[in-house]
């Protein structure tokens, strides 16, 4: 998992300066799963989605030297989505014959305006933040609280049933849900703010 101490802006700065393999590994750890899952949502097979992740990293590595992130010009997630869509469309077109870059640009603009694609990216982006926040919280809560949260809040099991199964009181189940939900919301908000 990526370092929670490195900020999004500092990671982008490291990527834009001299070659930094550790920064690229961290970027992959942060965003590889997001890109892969979005590619799968767009209909690609697992191997093609893995290739999309690599192609996105390659495209970004070519674009990053001298790159300066300016949140006032747009959000990073919109830029990442555009790069990802471009790679997905290019991969699809390569499988079906010649690639015309003008066609890819038109397709990227059409895909960006596609509400299903936008909703899919946003849904995947929300899931990405939830997964990242959950990983951070694994070190902050004990196993019993995490299990109670999983069974009661995520799986929708009855609080009494959850308490009995985990040898907790019903109040402990409610408290675990409340504390973890509150902390998840804080962590997701922090991540979103960090990314601009």
pLDDT above 90 for 95: no
User: Of 193 and 43, which is predicted with more confidence?
Assistant: 43
pLDDT score at 127? 87
Task: Give CA–CA dist 103/88, Å, rounded.
Answer: 13
- Over residues 109-128, the mean pLDDT reads 73
Cα(150)–Cα(60) distance, integer angstroms: 36
Instruction: Quote the tokens at residue 105.
Output: 């640009």
Mean pLDDT of the chain: 83
CA dihedral 58, 62, 67, 73 (to 10 degrees): -70
Query: For residues 21 and 129, what is the distance between their CA atoms, to the nearest angstrom?
Result: 24
CB hemisphere CA count around 143 (13 angstroms): 2
What pLDDT shows up at residue 115? 60
**Residue ranges per domain, the chain?**
1-124, 140-196
Fold adopted by 140-196: Arc Repressor Mutant, subunit A (1.10.10)
Left, alpha or beta for 156 (phi > 0: left; psi -120 to 50: alpha)?
left
Percentage of the chain exceeding pLDDT 90: 36
Residue 24: is its pLDDT beyond 60? yes
Interatomic CA distance for residues 132 and 130, integer angstroms? 5
Nearest residue to 147 via CA among 165, 170, 125, 128:
165
The yes-or-no verdict on residue 132 having pLDDT over 50 is yes
Dihedral Cα 107, 196, 184, 10, nearest 10 deg = 110
d(Cα 119, Cα 41) in Å, to the nearest integer?
11
């Amino acid at each position: 998992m990526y370092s929670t101490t490195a900020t999004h802006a500092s990671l982008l700065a490291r990527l834009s300066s001299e070659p930094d393999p550790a920064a690229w590994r961290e970027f992959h750890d942060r965003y590889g799963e997001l890109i892969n899952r979005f590619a799968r949502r767009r209909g690609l097979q697992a191997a093609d989605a893995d290739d999309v992740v690599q192609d996105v990293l390659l495209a970004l590595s070519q674009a990053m030297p001298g790159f300066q992130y300016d949140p006032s010009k747009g959000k990073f997630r919109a830029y990442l989505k555009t790069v990802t869509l471009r790679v997905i469309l290019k991969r699809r077109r390569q499988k079906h014959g010649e690639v015309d870059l003008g066609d890819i640009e038109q397709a990227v603009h059409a895909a960006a305006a596609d509400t299903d694609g936008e909703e899919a990216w946003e849904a995947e982006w929300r899931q990405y933040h939830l997964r990242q926040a959950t990983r951070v919280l694994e070190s902050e809560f004990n196993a019993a609280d995490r299990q109670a949260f999983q069974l009661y809040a995520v799986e929708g099991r009855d609080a009494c049933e959850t308490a009995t199964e985990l040898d907790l009181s019903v109040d402990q189940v409610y408290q675990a849900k409340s504390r973890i939900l509150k902390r998840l919301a804080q962590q997701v908000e922090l991540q979103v703010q960090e990314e601009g």
